[in-house]
A and B are shown apart, each in its own frame.
Chain A
Amino acid sequence: EMKMAVTTSFANSGLADVLLPQIQADTGLEVQLLIVGTGQALRLGAAGDVDAVLVHARAAEDKFIAEGNATHRREIMYNDFVIIGPAGDPAGAGKATSADEALVAIADAKAPFVSRGDDSGTHKKELSLWASAGVEPTGDWYRAVGAGMGAALNTASGMNGYIMSDRASWLKFGNKGDLALLFAGDPVLFNQYAYMPVNPAKHAHVNNDAAMALEGWLVSDTAKALIDGYTIAGEKLFTFNATAN
């Protein structure tokens, strides 16, 4: 039995429901998931309240390691972000050839854009994209909602606005309303998930054996098959990219 803090977007994807039973079958580990924001996940790890974390926010992860909260960082898989918007696409973001272009189109049209605004991995990614597109996202059209992915999608659906989401959350999202996937595929939109076992030297009580066993399983071929094989509506969500070391 071990506890792992994961981000909302991972839990919302539904991949966990596929992986957990298999983990239990293969290793006998009962993994309990705590579904929280990225920042909160890292805090739980730092406090020693969980045995491992699975997040996607590179800079914060490096800091986490540097502070000695985890023994190491192990890349497991990636998925990608997509740009969602009203099916009519008034800003013409769908015709863009790069993520930068799509964002510039939205900003130029001053079309409502919903931002997670919660400092999560997704939010940080979005901010970095605005930066590289050379747009300062301010004004009435830019709505920072300060909520999880699902809630932000709800809001976008309610406002009929644009939003950047991870593909898994989008595909799983039930309340699509008038929204559609408009842009995807630019490599800058790739989103790396990493696994970090909490440092037993800092928190003696953590179940490091289980955490290591889980890591071993996550980089195994069984995991690869399950992750690469997981689809929603015929679309593949995650790409396994763990390296054996």
Chain B
Amino acid sequence: MVASILPLHLTGLEVHRRGKRLLGPVSMTLKGDGTTVIIGPNGSGKTTFLRALHGLERCTHDAAKWQADEETVRARQAFVFQSPIMMRRSVQDCIAYPLILAGQGKTNARAAAAEWAERVGLSAALTRPAHVLSGGEKQKLALARALIRQPELLFLDEPCANLDGRSTREIEVILADARQSGTRVVMSTHDMGQARRLADDVIFLYGGLIHEAGPKDAFFSAPKTPETRAFLNGDLLP
């Protein structure tokens, strides 16, 4: 990777659907390194926000400014969806697919896929059709598929929601490693423990707006608003 695609500047980003504003206006800057964790209640717009950043949602024109042309920006990102999308192929072919798209030979790609399957704990399932996997296995597959092209910017939408404790810890290690080797991670989670473990910065979304944001330590030890406090306590939001 030569020049980075980050930082990303957002000015007044909004997402509308069926005459309703789902998100925004959001103005912020996504800096070049670290891990940002997005938290917030169900329906607060976490998924919408991540998708908008990734360019999957129709949103305010020109609200996002990257440091490279669109093609480069698109090629250097990866996304792990909240409900993983399985292609009608074997696990190995699913994981290898991004490499095949990038022009790698089939043999190479499949070898790399086997390696990544091993890392996320799917080696036993390599030849299964992807759609028969269990919920947790699907999330692992999606993660391997996202990591295999070593993206500069990685979005994860509740990547550990269906994982057991052990797998969650393993995935957290993988994510920490990726962050170490320069991957910018932006993820959402409902697990406050996970947020504390992984985050450098935290964004608290509420009603489609950034309600509060800041470095992890300050955010968790001294939340500024009553809403944030209530959310962290698991209370009814005011």
Establish whether A and B are touching in the complex (CB under 8 Å): no
B interface residues (Cβ-Cβ under 8 A, vs A): none
